[in-house]
Amino acid sequence: MEPTDFVSQKGPEAILGQVDSSQPLVDFCQDKVLLAHDPSDTNSRVRGVRKAVHLVGGLKRGIDHERYIKSIAEWAGSGYEAVYDLYQRSRAKDTASGGIAKSESSIAVPPQVRAERELLRLLVHHPYMLERAQVELDTTLFEDRDDRLILQPLLEWDAGGDLKAGVEELGSRLVESLESEQARNLATALLFDKSGNVDNISAEDAEIIYRDLLAALKEFYLERQIRSKKKDLGSLSSASQRDHSREQELTEEIYALERMKRELRKGS
C-alpha cells in the first residue's frame, strides 16, 4: 500500500504508530547480516561476527554500540570481550594480524567447548567449588575429549584432603595426572590464562558464574540428545517397514527432553 493511500484510509496517527513500532534500521541490517550465516559452523560464525562488527563499528556514536556488541556475542555464543575487541579494532582501523587473529580464534571456539573451558578455568582457580562440582557435574555434560580428560581427575580428587591444597599445588597435580600431551597443554593454559580475571573474583561471583555455566552445559546436553533422537526418528519414519511403536516412544522422549529444556531455562 502506498503511504498516501495508507494515510487517507487510516489517518496520520496510524502511520506515526507504524513508524514508532517499526524495527530500527541498524537492528534490521544487523539481523540481515547474521541471518545469512550459521552460528553452528565455525567459519560461518567468524564471518558473521566479522561482518556484523564491521557494520556496527562503521556507524556514528549516536547509537547504542554496546547493545549491538552484546547481541552479536549472544548470537555467536562467544564472550563479550572477544567481540568488543574486534569492534575496537574496527573503530580504530587497527588491522594488526596478531590481535585480530586472537579475537577471532576465541570466537571460533564452539559455544559448547567455550562453556566447558570457562567452567574448568573457574574450578582450577577456585578449588573450593570442586566439592560441589563433584556432586553436580558429570563428564557426559562435556563434549570435547581433552576437556573431559581434565574434568575427570577434578571430580575424583579427595574433597577432604586434596582440595585443601592451594591453586598452584592442585594445578601441578592436575597437569601431572594427565597422560595426553594436548590435555596437559590445555590444563596449563587454563591455569595461567587470566581471561575474565577469574582468579580475582569473589566467591559470590564465582557461584553465579558456576550456576550459569552449569545450566548452559545442561542445555547443550539436552540439545544433543534431542538432535540424536530426532535423527533416529527421521530414519524410522523413512524406513520401508515402519516401527510405529518405537516412533511413538521416540516422540515422547523428544517431548520430555524439550520440556526439561524449557524448565531449565525458566530456572536459570
Say whether pLDDT at 93 is over 60: no
Query: Taking residues 30-35, what's their average pLDDT?
Result: 87
CA distance 156 to 170: 13
What pLDDT, on a 0 to 100 scale, did the predictor assign at position 159?
57
Taking the model in full, what pTM does it have? 0.62
At residue 112, what are phi and psi to the nearest 5 degrees? -60, -50
268 pLDDT tier (thresholds 50, 70, 90): low
CA distance 42 to 241: 38
Lowest mean pLDDT among 46-60, 191-205, 247-261: 191-205
Domains plus CATH for the chain? 3-109 (no CATH), 112-197 (no CATH), 203-267 (1.20.120)
Query: Taking residues 123-140, what's their average pLDDT?
Result: 89
Query: Taking residues 170-191, what's their average pLDDT?
Result: 87
CA distance 112 to 40: 10
Asked if 52 and 32 touch (Cβ cutoff 8 Å), the reply is no
Asked if 203 and 170 touch (Cβ cutoff 8 Å), the reply is no
What pLDDT, on a 0 to 100 scale, did the predictor assign at position 258?
93
What pLDDT, on a 0 to 100 scale, did the predictor assign at position 17?
55
